[in-house]
Amino acid sequence: MFKQFTIQAPSVRIEAELQHKIDNKTKPLGALGELESIAFQLGKIQQTTTPDVSKPQMIIFAADHGVVAQGISLFPQEVTPQMVMNFLMGGAAVSVFCEQHNVPLRIVDVGVNAELEAHPLLGARKVAFSSQDFSQQAAMTSTQLEQALQAGVDEANLAIDKGVNLLMFGEMGIGNTCVSSCMMTALIGVSAEDSAGRGTGLDSAGVSHKARIIEQSLQRAEKETGQLMSDWSAQTLAEQVGGFEILAMAGAMLQSAQRQTVFVVDGFICSVALLFAQKVAPDVREYAVFAHQSNEKAHKMLLSHLKAEPILSLDLRLGEGSGAILAYPLIQSACAFLNKMASFESAGVTDSK
């Protein structure tokens, strides 16, 4: 079995003090809406009434997927290493936004189907040159699963040991919406038709083809394991239909939670990583801030399943951590009002009581 995680939900002991501080700012009760919920969550996770997200980091995990051979993506697999280079050279959307908000960016190769040259922003943690085509065989071995999870654990530790107090995750991998939809179907039992979406821009025929491949892949895996997918362990599910970058994200989330560090969930693929992490250790969910609701059709269903309230809804469907970095200024604002806004008492303002 892969690495075990010991995660405890944040203590409730500070809740009353936090809520009192939020409620006694110079505003009507609840007037800052979701910012109040974010501030409360940040304070509870950090166990302080003065939460701090001044040392963030964005980590993008990248890998390729064998199932791309089944024609489930508009883009060829060589786009994955090309986009990794685009990230490293500062030309991608997430690169631009990270620069705008002074957030350090790191790209981690856990399974890109190419040899990548060393770069200061690149973490070399390649498990293999792509997963296997899970429509034909298991996506990975148990050893590869352990390595992918450990890559995420190691990256989270590296960041937190440097003082990072807010982690944001993104991903890159042609075909990974198909992998995510397949994992979602196996994890919560929705149909492949409901979980499969447009990804990088498939038309209706392409989406239907993707759903068929997902169904065939899960049938293959059930036959091979001799178990219904509803009975699969987290390990079996990951080995049969997982993706290296998705599992690395899950490992990073689990380790962040184990170290009581806030992390930001990006879009659909990142949310599936959290869904998998939750199967491993349910309390990981308590440390997650949800950045946005994406345009991928299954994301709304998945957020509802996770009982998540995303910060933004901008019709994004880019991935690569773009929604997470766009939500960061609002997370900063949640800290700012809690830490700096006057109370009724300090400002000499009469409250409504």
CATH code of the domain covering residue 195: 3.40.50.10210
Predicted pLDDT at 12: 97
For residue 201, the model assigns a pLDDT of 80
CB 237 within 8 A of CB 186: yes
Look at residue 289 and tell me if it is in a domain: yes
Question: Is residue 17 a part of any domain in this protein?
Answer: no
Q: Is the residue at 232 inside a domain?
A: yes
pLDDT, residue 1, reads 56
320 has catalytic annotation: yes
For residue 332, tell me if it sits in a domain: no
Whether residue 16 lies inside any domain: the answer is no
For residue 101, the 8-state DSSP code is T
Question: For residue 351, what pLDDT is reported?
Answer: 76
Domain span at 121: 56-327
The low-confidence residues of the chain, meaning pLDDT below 50, are none
Rg for the chain, CA atoms, rounded: 20
Q: Is residue 333 part of a domain?
A: no
* Cα(66)–Cα(130) distance, integer angstroms: 6
pLDDT score, position 145: 98
Positive or negative torsion for Cα 69, 319, 274, 248: positive
- Given the residues 78, 222, 320, 345, the one annotated as active site: 320
N- to C-terminal Cα separation, the chain: 56
Does residue 37 fall inside a structural domain? no
348 within domain boundaries:
no
Q: Which of 137, 158, 10, 120 is nearest to 66 (CA)?
A: 137
User: How many domains is the chain built from?
Assistant: 1
Q: Which residues contact 248 (CB under 8 A, 6 or more apart)?
A: 61, 63, 108, 110, 125, 148, 149, 151, 152, 155
